[in-house]
Structure 1
Amino acid sequence: MTETRTEEFQLKDGRAAVLTVAEPEQVVRGGLVVLHEAGGVTDTVRLLVSSLAAEGWLAVAPHLYHGSLPQEEQVRQLSGDSVLASTDIAFAVLAERKITADLMGVVGFDLGGTAAMVVAAKRSIGAAVSVGASGIIEPISSALPPLVEIAGDLKCPWLGIYGDQDDVIHSTEVEKLRDAAVGAGVATNVVRYPAAGHRFDADPAAATEAWHRTLNWFDAHLR
């Protein structure tokens, strides 16, 4: 398994962020910014970063939380501007490695999936994937928009992945998001797994299929 490292990166213009990074052992195909779930950069997130690097992607996970506030408070204070500030630094780090914008993507689960869609609606990159992104109708933070309101602004191909057994997100919301994304003028797709829950734990086969679908999405659009 590709090792990860966590350190503070500072750009020449003075901007800085803590990033967890994993580098491919051989040729770098492109760069993926991994946005963490509500719990922060957990072992699961580090495993995702490592697994993407094993597939040839330079994977970078910015730490979206700052300070030592409780998790719930950190989530409530998260804003679109703060998400973009952190991801912009991650994209700049990828650019320093000569990775062009068309070879950059963003992916996230749960809170990270929500943030990934915010980024995809504001930045011109190659592709985005959101898994279990909440806040479709009612935003998860007063400073983040409902996803249905920004779906039509998507600037890059976007894939949304959901489980129908999610106890937080109802399938009717997911269908509203699908409809809203159609107007974006870019390739979009929403995939629902009937037996999967929020974390896909109840359906390992769906989790495996969703992983390969994510890789295929980036394969198809980051080139």
Structure 2
Amino acid sequence: MTDLTRRQFIIVTALSAGFTLAVHPIAAAVINTDAAGLVAGEVKIPVKDGSIPAYRAMPATGSNFPVILVIQEIFGVHAHLQDICRRLAKLGYLAIAPEMFARQGDVSKLTEVQEIISKVVSKVPDAQVMSDLDATVEWAQKSGKGNINKLGITGFCWGGRIVWLYSSHNPKVKAGVAWYGRVVGNSTDLTPKQPIDIAASLKVPVLGLYGGKDQSIPNDTVEKMQQVLKTGSSGSEIVLYPDAPHAFNADYRPSYREKEAQDAWKRMQDWFKKYGVS
């Protein structure tokens, strides 16, 4: 490791306790899941060049829990993602959300979405993300609490795209659920492949949950993804909610749609159970 790399890493050493500033004010509909009956809080994940923070939640008693990787939106592992982990833990999972932007910057203190994208998110290499998720799976196995033979992944927005890519990257994944993650895009040095590029060869069943009124993910791209998936053998499916906008599960934002979010959450649970992540 060079001195420069050593100085640069790690920018983020701890998770935000609340919500990222860019999403304020917080909507009245925000869901707060308590930690009763759970072990929940921050852990450190050893990675190739140090460690990254992650939020982990699991039942307080027992072991051999199925593992679900929870992948963040552009807002980092803030209060909403931590709550998602606790919701999953209440269902019997070891849910863990590693901070994927740790090396590139702390998005929790930035106040504008475009600033988050330009200063941090646009600089995150897919290869780094895949490696950090591999390390997170290894951590779950070594913890003595997680059963990585029952490994699932779910993610939202930015994390929804990662669900498709990691399900292609790691054959140990039993099933994935991608919430409104973009499926097409330009190939760059940092993001060489998009979900549509791996759709035909995908082996892991992924459930895509998308909004028909998502202005950032046009319906025609989702429909194209559906067609390419049909040429493969993964059994992946996409559900398009006609009246839902982007981020319809984000209960802390005005985009939240309770009916669609609850239906999608149930579909996610059924999907994981169907493919052995339970």
Give the TM-score of the pair, scaled to structure 2. 0.73
1:42 aligns with 2:78: yes
Q: Distance in 2 between matches of 1:153 and 1:101?
A: 23
- Aligned equivalent of 1:186, options 231, 234, 238: 234
Give the alignment partner of residue 154 of structure 1, picking from 193, 202, 205: 202
Q: Give the Å deviation of 1:142.
A: 5.2
Rate the CA distance shift 1:47–1:167 in 2: closer, same or farther, 3 A: same
Q: Is the 8 A contact 2:104 2:124 kept in 1?
A: no
Further displaced range: 107-116 or 73-82 = 73-82
- Residue 63 of structure 1 corresponds to 99
- Retained in 2: the 8 A contact 1:195–1:203? no
Q: In the alignment, is the contact (CA less than 8 A) between 1:109 and 1:130 conserved in 2?
A: yes
Distance 1:181 1:195, change over 3 A: same
SS at match of 1:76: helix
The reply on whether 1:212 has 2:247 as its aligned counterpart is no
Whether contact under 8 Å (2:165, 2:194) holds in the other structure is no
Give the unaligned 5+ runs of structure 1: none
Letter in 2 for 1:114: R
1:119 alignment counterpart: 166
Q: Give the TM-score normalised by structure 1.
A: 0.90
Corresponding residue for 2:126? 80
Which secondary structure does the structure 1 equivalent of 2:247 belong to?
coil
Q: CA deviation at 1:93?
A: 1.4
Q: 1:15 to 1:155 in 2, by over 3 A?
A: farther
In structure 2, stretches of 5+ residues that fail to align are 1-33, 107-114, 249-254
Q: Residue 162 of structure 1 contacts residue 192 of structure 1 at CA under 8 Å; is this kept in 2?
A: yes
Aligned length: 221
Of 91-100 and 170-179, more deviation after overlay is shown by 91-100
Assess if the C-alpha contact under 8 Å between 2:66 and 2:148 holds in 1: no
2-structure distance, mates of 1:214, 1:24: 19
Change beyond 3 A, Cα 1:202–1:87: closer
Contact 1:17-1:89 within 8 A present in 2 as well: no
Aligned mates of 1:30, 1:88 — CA distance in 2: 16
Structure 1 residues 64 and 196: alpha-carbon distance in aligned structure 2, compared to 1, 3 A threshold: same
Q: Which residue of 2 aligns with 1:19?
A: 54
Identity fraction in percent: 23
- Please say which structure displays the higher CA radius of gyration: 2
Coordinate RMSD, CA, aligned: 2.2
- Please give the secondary structure, in 2, of the residue aligned with 1:47: helix
